[in-house]
Structure 1
């Protein structure tokens, strides 16, 4: 069988194949036309009222805004660092113990208040209530979680409570 005989016998199949391929190409052209139209519309909308110079100035303005935002971010980060530094010396840990200073007096009107910063430095404030003589208040300094003066049992408890508290920040 020769090539021409082969073509003559299969003409119907060849025509159907070419027709199918043509239909496929037709649909592809339609899809590309629709996408191109959408792209043109977006371009027109983007360029409406803008010349090339105006568009360039708009882009430069946006870059200037970005540069200002970067500068502002750095300033804010510096301020946050200052705040964090200040927080290390603020009172962050607290312990309170109420007690009866004298056995004949009830109601636990005396107290010890421990106030510590992040580094466990601070004070113990002890207020001893005596109904006859009034109230006596004194302070003991705490450095690195320790006192150089002897502590009562209630003062030790208040200091331990503050050292173990989780009220501190950062």
Structure 2
């Protein structure tokens, strides 16, 4: 009885061996292709171990993260200081006295986002020139402001 099925078993084993051989040849080609790709990738690194390359990349990535965090902290500090910086500037020229002839007087406001700063006023007359500086807090001053000074403070913001 075993001899009757022996031909079928041998044929089945032969078919399985042929299928495995075909699969082995296909896998061999894929392995060669993968090996070529690996060598091409590793060729320019000067390293023969992929693990070392990956560890180096991870360390570099961690260093970049630290630099990014430090930069974020600096940016946050600058963002907190920006509203306090005196970056708003306006100037208004005018004729302080009708007899002087032209717009030789001026008011200059230098303020920040919160309207803190200074207003400088130069008054020109035939007898001389006078310069005044007045501190500004929230758009107001402890000293009386002229209409020109109020105008230039508003223009600066």
TM-score, with length taken from structure 1: 0.66
In the alignment of these two chains, the number of paired residues is 129
Q: What is aligned with 1:141?
A: 135
Higher relative contact order (CA 8 A, sep 6+): 1
Do the aligned partners of 2:47 and 2:53 also contact (CA within 8 Å) in 1? no
Query: Per-residue deviation at 1:50?
Result: 4.8
C-alpha distance in 2 between matches for 1:50 and 1:57: 7
Cα displacement string for residues 120-158 of structure 1 (whole angstroms, at most 9, x for unaligned residues): 1011111111232x2111111111122233221111111
- Root-mean-square deviation over aligned CA pairs: 2.3
* Helix, strand or coil at the partner of 1:88: helix
**Unmatched runs of 5 consecutive residues or more in structure 2:** 1-22
**Gaps spanning 5+ residues in structure 1: where?**
1-28, 164-170
Q: TM-score, normalised by structure 2?
A: 0.71
Alignment partner, residue 42 of structure 1: 37
The whole-number CA distance in structure 2 between the counterparts of 1:44 and 1:114 is 68
Q: Distance in 2 between matches of 1:89 and 1:158?
A: 19
TM-superposed CA distance for 1:159, in Å, is 1.3
Deviation digits for residues 46-77 of structure 1, max 9, x if unmatched?
455754xx322221111110000000011111
Which residue is 2:100 aligned to? 105
Q: What is the distance in 2 between the residues matched to 1:50 and 1:156?
A: 71
